[in-house]
Amino acid sequence: MMSRGGTRLTSSLMAAVGGRCFSAATVRTLSDEVATAWIRAPVVGLRYESTLALGDKERQEEKPVVSGLAAGGSGGKDEKTVVSYWGIQPGKVKKDDGTEWRWSCFRPWETYESNTSIDLKKHHVPVTLMDKLAFWTVKVLRWPTDIFFQRRYGCRAMMLETVAAVPGMVGGMLLHCKSLRRFEHSGGWIKALLEEAENERMHLMTFMEVAQPRWYERALVFAVQGVFFNAYFLGYIISPKFAHRMVGYLEEEAIHSYTEFLKELDKGNIENVPAPAIAIDYWRLPANSTLRDVVMIVRADEAHHRDVNHFASDIHYQGRELKETPAPLGYH
């Protein structure tokens, strides 16, 4: 705010300069307007006006620049990339042969060749009361699935994967929070469980290319996932050994389901179509692979998840924590 002295000074200067160029009335009018303008100028405006450079003002008015083409995560479709003001831009990834990588949802170094020679008949015999509870919980959950899907194994696989991808994410999340609370390492188990969840999700992305779910099947996924996520979350907090044991039995049922899927393919009841492109790149399959090859790979993945979760439950049964035993990272 300008003081009275400042106002008099302004009037004097205007009178001295204006005497030669303006009339007395004009000088008085101009001096009054200048003084009024100084008095009414907002303080905040003056402060920020002095700190904003011209370049900053121009950047504030800029809009995101749209340029370039990037391979999307849904089948490698070309999509426009928004180049951020902060310089964030997806990097271009190439295969070993020099061709451009088509997927943004996973990278070449995250792919692998699954070990399909794994023993599919291994079974953890339930002995303790908690093991029996976990075993029969899975058996009860399988019953309505058999009635609903019957022999529609493509849609059955999608439904199975929307559920199977939940435990790894829940377990990894809770171990992550525990690691933060206790300021301790997890022995690699956070990464192992999150890798399991991502692998199960890739199963779903693969089967989405083979069988499109109907509207009521999508609605069923919403209901089942909402109930199962919260139930498993509470179950893992109460007893991690029960939670991992139940997932182990769930994976045993998944092996059985995919075995039946293979039988239907061999009988010709389900068409053995070419393998989706996302499956060929994710599992490093030959270009001429078929749906049968994909189902065999997925079944092997479920067998590995079976072993990991039974192993985790055994660690808890021995009265130890997961961090005390290194996680089987890269166990495919």
Quick: pLDDT tens for 47-74: 444 444 444 444 444 544 444 444 445 4
Per-residue confidence (pLDDT) for residue 72, from 0 to 100: 46
Kindly report the average pLDDT of the chain as a whole number: 79
pLDDT tens-place string over residues 165-217? 999 999 999 999 999 999 999 999 999 999 999 999 999 999 888 877 778 77
> Over pLDDT 90: what percentage of the chain?
49
Q: What is the pLDDT of residues 251-261, one digit of tens each?
A: 999 999 899 89
Average pLDDT over residues 294-308: 96
What mean pLDDT comes out for the span 310-318?
Answer: 96
User: Which of 36-40, 196-200, 312-316 shows the lowest mean pLDDT across its residues?
Assistant: 36-40
pLDDT tens-place string over residues 99-153: 888 888 888 888 999 999 999 999 999 999 999 999 999 988 887 776 666 666 6
pLDDT at position 7 over 60 = no
Report how far residue 65's alpha carbon sits from residue 46's, in angstroms, rounded to the nearest whole number.
32
Rounded CA gap, 273 and 280, in Å? Answer: 13
Distances (CA, A) of 182 to 91, 94, 186: 36, 41, 10
Give the percent of the chain with pLDDT over 70.
71
DSSP element (H, E) containing 168: helix 153-182
DSSP element (H, E) containing 297: helix 291-317
Rounded Cα–Cα distance for residues 277 and 255 (Å): 23
Q: Based on C-alpha coordinates, what's the Rg of the chain?
A: 33
- Mean pLDDT over 261-290 rounds to 93
Confidence (pLDDT) at 48: 41
Q: Cα separation of 159 and 131, whole Å?
A: 25
Residues 231-245 have pLDDT tens digits of: 999 999 999 999 999
Q: Which residue has the higher pLDDT, 25 or 151?
A: 151
**φ/ψ (deg, to 5) at 15:** -65, -40
Give the pLDDT of residue 177: 97
Of 275, 279, 269, 297, the closest CA to residue 288 belongs to: 275
Residue 128, C-beta contacts closer than 8 angstroms, at least 6 positions apart: 317
